[in-house]
Structure 1
């Protein structure tokens, strides 16, 4: 039965899902800063629970990011890959040898092709995958084929760490076929329950070892993430300190400028008072000169009238 694309179930208006999709599409180097931006936006919009879930998102390992990138960038190939996984698991479950053989050949070719595509997509995004990271991508794809839970995780496109194939399903390059051959051999030779028990204990030890390795890898990845966050926090603190120093210098410069302007204002006020005083003095002098001029004119007019009167009398 073909597998549906789980991303299609999300409502178009679901802001949280859209933000998480954007976040896990971001390259690992910018994951933390983008996460904080999206969480802050959610808090500013009053979506506290969305902000909490965004802040809780963990930065994916490089292999997990490459697998997510493949899932999102190649949706049709990814859907066919998920369908191949369902067919493989059904064939292994029914011990259909012909189906197992045919599908196993397809599995190896498809895993190699998709792993190469993931490496190419990562390189185009500026992250060249090392050989060990490519092996983690291949292991993740093997896990997707073997384990329905792993298929669900990868289909969502939000892996945080590389997946490990179950040891009893896909331990290496062609495991389930080996499981089928073991079951057929047991039926033909009549293996005893004691041998079955020993084999089961061995498989259980392998499963525990695989889980322990996966837990150790996850812990190492969390350690790397914490170190990255600390480095980014140190960088942010240094930039904030530099910004604070620049702001203090600007404040000091502004204060110096303000002091100089105040001194200029005080000087201009003094000059204005002196100018006003000079104007009053000049105005007073002008008034006196005008008064004296009027008085002199009046005196001259009186003298002229007296002279005319004397001339008339003398005749």
Structure 2
């Protein structure tokens, strides 16, 4: 059932309702009434939400790294200075931009062109995943219905749910695992320990960002290779089509020539029959004339 819903939420929105009804009917026919009811209750996602779902399902490893990057960024943003925040913000923008372009390409491959407003909603969703643990959990479920809105600031949270798994709801009263506020009169050792922890968080966040960027570069290279291969295939297809068109034109001309030859043959046969009839008539007249001459010659004698 989970696999059925996962497949449904990666169906382009234009075909969502038809696919939903087909899957629901199949479940009902198989006697799974509750599953059919659950399938029919599924809401059609917006184009941006569908593209985000498609990205998660099509690139599971890259999506996992993106969720890990969000966790590292949320930890780091709680304790970084202005310079560190600026550095991580730049990395965040690059990763979000690259991932949104990749999602747009996946959408195009699936036959859907993303408009500029839809692309903006997609980027907002990815920013929300990085900044908000609840948004990360929603995206990790792979069944977004609408685009997500990023918060005004980063929110701490626990480790995000793995891509494709069902998010676990937070229990009321559960607090995030953020560092406790500094106590008044903290010792130098405690302050040094906090600074060391902040540096470790920053290092993890930077490493996660670099890993995500490297993964994106590799994916872009593979995508470029696939695009080049697709272009070569299209060129071969176009060449084959041109050759087929030339052969079809030759065949058309041969058929036309054949029809003309058949017509000429029919005319020649008609002329031949007419000539044969004329010859037979001429021979009959000649015989009659010869017989008449012989008759006249015998009478004169």
TM-score, normalization by structure 2: 0.49
Q: Using CA pairs below 8 Å that are at least 6 residues apart, which structure has the higher relative contact order?
A: 2
Question: Larger C-alpha radius of gyration, 1 or 2?
Answer: 1
Q: TM-score, normalised by structure 1?
A: 0.47
